[in-house]
Amino acid sequence: MRARAATGRPAEPASRRAIGTLSIGAVPTALLSSAVCLAVYLLTLAPTAFAMDSAELAAAAYSLGLAHAPGYSVYLLVAHLFTYLPVGDVAFRVNLLSALAGSACIGLLTYQLKRSLGSSAVALSVGLALGFSYYAWAVSVAAEVYTLQSLLLMAILVLAWDWRLRGRRSALVAAAGLIGLSLANNPATLLWWPGLGLLLWASPHRKRLGLSDAAKMLAALMVGLSFIGYIPWRSAAEPAFVYVGWYDREAVFKHPDLTRPSTLLWYLSGQPFAAFFPALVPSEVLAGVTEFIGHLWALMLGVGLPLGLVGVARQLRRHRTWALGLLAVGGLHVAFFAVYRAGDRGLMLLPAFLIWSFFVADGMQIAAQGFHPRWQMAGLLLPVALLLVNWSYLDLSSSESSVRLARARLRAARAESVYVLPWGEAAVMHYLQIVDGVGDQVTVVNSFFVDEETLGPLVQTAIDRGRAVYTSQANLLPAEFGLGQVGSSYLVIGSQGVPDE
């Protein structure tokens, strides 16, 4: 019979206990990896609003407003609490949430790898390697939703392991609650459900479950889902900041009534971005798959792809349902986001990279068994290399140019003027108006929320009413409008007129 530890549980195989010269418990290992990542993230954290969605999310969190679809209600509520921290400006405080959530996610990953593989060296090497990969690091130094989303997924996986291994009903109920919370935050996490269902169902302990357990799980799920209520609640309150809707010809922003079930479903299902949804076009699918393989190759400097493939084969032999569940969670996520037509889709794949790290760790453990224990710590050279390679690309500690430029533009603009800008630049201006009250007299128009038929008449209407019209890009406005450069922007100085259709 297999020897048992004093706790009564099966003792770890000697081969597992012997791996790595660094032998510390799962919790200290997790705390170490989390602390190291947090230190790096704080040193490279953006000091204020950054590009992409950073400024938008900070403004929405500060004002308890509405962000772009599908809402991220849980994120906004948590981020709102961070806006009360007595440090830095509002955007910096929301950036802190990304750093904390990102480092906590790496800590949980390291914790789970140590528990499942028994090797502190492998757990630290892979955990820190993911933490210092471009994709994980990039979303941990500025306000983004992906770190919290990945943290929730990692917590669910830890609970799923506890349920499968020890049959703890409390872990199962907690997992159900976090699944509901994840869905409330981002309905796209519904893609995880088949894989998570397999992970939770394929356990011998399920035979002990009764109706009361099912009721508790359902209740926990509904409690998590209840956070969706933030969206209709805030929509009814008509907050100062809303990033769903459209501009009319008078440059007035109209937002839909999200208290209506049909409109709420439209918003939660991401329909405002339907143009970015994947299309079953062979060339696009092939390009997306190729790009994803490239991401896996670059994720850990080429090492992660072969190690991950070895790990997949090993897991399928040893823990088939666990491996299949993980592959389903990551695979369905990739199936949608790898061919999503947005420029930052690589960052959206962070949950898939998190899943892949499990297999990388298995592959690394196999590779480590061929070396003397004192050399197995050499795996830590991988995160060190990633740290050195990516630091210069991801150090945002001096990145204040977007805010400085936006502030200068708002202050230089004429009173009651209209500023037409692309998404990232408009969001920074909106942030300054909402949070700092800079340039409130300027109407900032995010060009994403203006269709081609409306943009020309919008500009012409402003001109007819004597309002100055600015833009940051010469090709953003219709060709019939003449432009003159004014500082870092362009001012409309004439037009041939736009017919009112």
> Could you report the per-residue pLDDT of 423-480, keeping only the tens digit for each?
999 999 999 999 999 999 999 999 999 999 999 999 999 999 999 999 999 899 998 9
Give the start-to-end residue ranges of the domains of the chain: 20-394, 401-495
Per-residue pLDDT of 187-197, as tens digits, reads 999 999 999 99
Judged against a pLDDT cut of 60, whether residue 499 lies above it is answered with: no
- Roughly what angle, to the nearest 10 degrees, separates helices 54-63 and 73-82? 80
Q: Which residues pair with 253 in a beta bridge?
A: 247
- Structural tokens at position 63: 């004002």
How far, in Å, CA of 99 to CA of 84, rounded?
17
Do the Cβ atoms of 139 and 51 come closer than 8 Å?
Answer: no
Whether the upstream peptide bond of residue 70 has omega within 30° of 0, thus cis, is yes
On the question of pLDDT at 144 being above 80, the answer is yes
For the cut 80, the answer to whether the pLDDT of residue 10 exceeds it is no
Confidence at 495, pLDDT banded by 50, 70, 90:
low
| Mean pLDDT of the region 386-401 | 97
The pLDDT tens digits of the residues spanning 203-240 come to 989 999 999 999 999 999 999 999 999 999 999 999 99
The rounded distance, in Å, linking the Cα atoms of 170 and 113 is 21
Alpha-carbon distance values, 139 to 153, 250, 350, 383, 489 (Å)? 16, 36, 9, 17, 29
Give the 3-state DSSP-derived string for 320-350, with helices as H, strands as E and coil as C. Answer: HHHHHHHHHHHHHHHHHHCCCCCCCHHHHCH
> Is residue 6's pLDDT more than 50?
no
Query: Is residue 24 very low, low, confident or very high in pLDDT (cuts 50, 70, 90)?
Result: confident
Q: Is 280 exposed, middle or buried (0-12, 13-18, 19+ CB in 10 A)?
A: exposed
User: How far apart, in whole angstroms, are the C-alpha atoms of residue 75 and residue 298?
Assistant: 29
- pLDDT of 488 strictly over 60: yes
**The pLDDT of residue 287 is above 80:** yes
pLDDT category, 52, cuts 50, 70, 90?
A: confident
* Strand-pair partners of 484: 491
Residue with tokens 């190291």: 36
CB atoms within 10 A of CB 366: 15
Q: Is the pTM above the cut of 0.75?
A: yes
Tell me the pLDDT tens digit for each residue of 57-98.
Answer: 999 999 999 999 999 999 999 999 999 999 999 999 999 999
φ/ψ (deg, to 5) at 190 = -60, -25
Concatenated DSSP letters of 138-200: HTTSS--SHHHHHHHHHHHHHHHHHHHHH--HHHHHHHHHHHHHHHHH-GGGGGGHHHHHHHH
> pLDDT tens across 366-391, in order?
988 877 666 667 889 999 999 999 99
Predicted local distance difference test score (pLDDT) of residue 11 = 40
